[in-house]
Amino acid sequence: MPPADARLKALFALDEPPARDPEFSTRVMERVMRRRFQEEVAWLSVMALAGAAALWILWPVLGPMLVTLSRGFAPALGAIGLGVCAWVVLGGRPAAAPGAVT
């Protein structure tokens, strides 16, 4: 190889990206995703506990209110439920997605 080609090859070698190790990248991404999953589970646990505590504190007020409202809305909710059931049974099923095999 002529000396000019060797110099150019050495010069271009400096700009080449570093070698990649797929196994190392996979392990690193697995650890990152595992950490994100643990953070998300912790956050959801805290939010669930906060919601449960709020419901527990407000239940003496919400309980009687729900009983009163359910007496008034029970006939209307029953009629809505029957209407939805009749719609599904009598052919009002949602259309299949485009391209779906039926």
Cβ distance 96 to 102 under 8 Å?
A: yes
pLDDT at 97: 57
pTM: 0.50
Half-sphere exposure of 91 (CA within 13 A, CB side): 0
pLDDT tens for the 102 residues of the chain, in order: 567 778 878 777 777 777 788 898 999 999 999 999 999 999 999 999 999 999 999 999 999 998 888 888 888 989 999 988 888 888 766 666 566 555
**Whole-number Å distance between alpha carbons of 94 and 63:** 36
